[in-house]
Amino acid sequence: MSNITSKALKDKIEQGESHHLIDVRTRPEFNSESIDATCRNIPLNKISTLDLPKESQIILLCASGNRSSRATETLVKQGFTNVYSLDGGLADWKENKLPTRNVKGILPIMRQVQIAAGILILIGTLGSLFLTPALIWLAVFVGAGLTFAGLSGWCGMAILLGHMPWNKKRQACSS
């Protein structure tokens, strides 16, 4: 598996080198902020459906490099021979002060998860103090879900929020 640095990707984009830039984050993540270049959004769970010639130069990215590394492994196992993962993902791209495209009015999905989880935990804990002790289980359930999400990388709340109408706005470069 090969990685590509943010600077090397920027150079490829500026020089117009032939490549396919694919963001493997969820649609809401992609729609809230992406690299300011021609790119496609194919979430990690759908990357195996990629329909390109096996020798195409493919550069995958995500938020931190974790999901794009997993996507790279998937594509290599399918026989793709020229696949790269953006080292450090969008976080590294932004750290290098390279341009991104933001859609105003859409909060990043993880901020939405934090807000929703915080509200549910507050309802559970305060409700258990002032209404009925059984509401503490709401806080326990949300806390367990967040722990599972952190350990596994799979967040059911993020998936659920991703289907909300406010997260359906699309950018021009998404596919």
Catalytic residues: 62
Contact (Cβ atoms closer than 8 angstroms) between residue 9 and residue 59? yes
Structure tokens at 82: 């020229």
Residue-wise over 115-124: b if at least 16 C-beta within 10 A, else e?
Answer: eebeebbeeb
Structure tokens at 94: 């932004």
Hey, which residues does 22 pair with through a beta bridge? 40, 60
Kind and range of the H or E run holding 68:
helix 66-77
Write phi, then psi, for 172 (nearest 5 degrees). Answer: -60, -30
How many Cα neighbours within 13 Å face the side chain of 68?
25
Cβ neighbour number for residue 63 with a 10 Å cutoff: 20
| Residue 154, Cβ density class (10 Å: 0-12 exposed, 13-18 middle, ≥19 buried) | exposed
Write phi, then psi, for 33 (nearest 5 degrees). Answer: -165, 135
